Amino acid sequence: MDNIILIGFMGSGKSTVGIKLSYRLRRAMEDTDKLIEKEEGRTISEIFATDGEAYFRNLETECLKKLLRTETHKIISAGGGLPIREENHALLRKLGTVIYLRAKAETIYERVKHDTSRPLLQGDDPQGKIRRLMSERTEIYEKTSDIIIDVDDKDFEIIIEEIVEAMEERQGD
Ligand code: S3P
């Protein structure tokens, strides 16, 4: 399908890039976290607190399957952990072009340090958690994506232009 899917660590800018890209390309945008919150009628933090991470991961796979049945030509921002489950790789790739917004751990920490909406980064050592999760995930993000955009120290406008250029190059191939 011809969707554009944004993947990457929490705080890598998927939501903001998604919104700006949706204006730039005149495509509607979806966000898996928001779809799940709407469907469940509660926040991600509440889902984690009440039913745990495994339950949330099942919701993510269900959400992906639903998107595959219903969506074309959209921008889709995927939750940071969604690409990790093996089963989701093929689903993501079927859904469209996968773009990985790659950021360094320091960039992520600066962006999320005051945030309380991400259950995996709460607790007393968020920097350590970011580094640990990142070392587990980076290879998977790279393997799952068609395009990698480094986002550290870049304005969103530049990131959007790099994505548009990379998409045009792919279409020209
Ligand atoms: C998660 C990322 C979050 C959200 C949940 C778990 C993760 O999405 O799905 O808190 O495992 O990285 P964002 O990447 O949009 O913050």
Q: Indicate whether residue 63 lines ligand 1 (CB < 6 A).
A: no
* Range 57-64, long-range pairs (CB < 8 A, 24+ positions): 57/81, 57/85, 60/32, 60/36, 60/85, 60/88, 61/85, 61/87, 61/88, 61/91, 63/32, 63/35, 63/36, 63/39, 64/32, 64/88, 64/91, 64/92, 64/95
Residue 65 C-alpha to ligand 1 middle, in angstroms?
Answer: 18
Closest-lying ligand 1 atom to the alpha carbon of residue 11: 16
Of 90, 87, 81, 92, whose CA–CA distance to 137 is shortest?
Answer: 81
- Which tens digits make up the pLDDT trace of 3-49? 999 999 999 999 999 999 999 999 999 999 999 999 999 999 999 99
CA distance 147 to 78: 15
123-154 pLDDT tens trace: 899 999 999 999 999 999 999 999 999 999 99
Q: Where are the alpha helices (DSSP H) in 26-125?
A: 32-40, 44-70, 86-95, 105-112
- The 10s digit of each residue's pLDDT in 48-74 is 999 999 999 999 999 999 999 998 999
Q: What is the per-residue pLDDT for 171?
A: 82
Atom of ligand 1 nearest to the CA of 133: 12
Lookup: tokens for 2: 């011809």
